[in-house]
Structure 1
Amino acid sequence: MVRLVGVDLPRNKKIAYALTYIHGIGLTSARKIIEVADIDSDTRVYDLTTEQGVALRQTLENTGLKFEGDLRRFNGLNIKRLNEINCYRGKRHRNSLPTRGQRTRTNARNRRGSKKTVTGKKK
């Protein structure tokens, strides 16, 4: 089992796809990382040698990017700052509404949650 940046990588996946399980690494950056670490892209996680694991760790440390806990903390602090200064985006975060101008009369179901039916008025 390979553990990088506090995340257990899935054993049966190719290394490029397994690296995307780390928060902050997408497929493009994963491919760049394995290229810098000089690892074949068809290698599965269970086939990695210890030297390749060490090379991956060193490459991740030298990229200068934020991963996992640091990135989550960074994003959380940014949202907290928006809430504290009471700006429009902060209010939208607070009310669990889309922050980037999307419509909410219809759609926005992922952000607003599941529908809550309101009964009609009696006359």
Structure 2
Amino acid sequence: MARISGVDIPREKRVEIALTYIYGVGLTRSQKILASTGVSPDTRVKDLSDADVQKLRAAAETFTLEGDLRRQEGMAMKRLQDIGCLRGRRHRMGLPVRGQRTRTNARTRRGARKTVAGKKK
């Protein structure tokens, strides 16, 4: 099993898809990495030579990936919360950040419904 950026990528998948298992690598970035290294996207991970894996590792290290990227995103959110801007407050309260409505919908950010008893007459 090839290990790139601290992630074991699946052996049976095509390299193009397997690279997307790394946090911070989507299909487009995966294709860019493969183009820069000259490795065929259709090759299976198990068929890669050690030299190919080394090339992929070196190309992947040029990007901010995995733990560093998670830390960078976390610090960006923390900065917003520390300065007390609207986006930071919305992050802190667990509400949608980008202006979406919350009267209905927004279940992903707000969690499951908390039923409130109706008003008795």
Q: TM-score normalised by the shorter chain: which range applies?
A: over 0.9
Who is 1:18 aligned against? 18
Who is 2:5 aligned against? 5
Aligned residue pairs total 121
Indicate the larger mover: 108-117 or 65-74: 108-117
Q: Which runs of 5+ in 2 are unaligned?
A: none
Distance 1:102 1:89 in 2: 12
Q: Give SS of 2:21's match.
A: coil
1:104 to 102, 105, 111: 102
Distance 1:102 1:12 in 2: 40
- Map 1:20-99 → 2, pairs under 5 A: 20-61=20-61, 63=62, 65-99=63-97
Q: Which runs of 5+ in 1 are unaligned?
A: none
What CA deviation, in whole Å up to 9, does each residue of 1:53-108 have, x standing for no partner? 011011112x3x21000000001001001111111001000000111111111111
TM-score normalised by length of structure 2: 0.95
Alpha-carbon RMSD: 1.0
Residue 35 of structure 1 aligns with an amino acid whose one-letter code is: A
TM-score normalised by length of structure 1: 0.94
Distance 1:28 1:10 in 2: 19
Where do 4+ consecutive residues of structure 1 move more than 2 Å? none
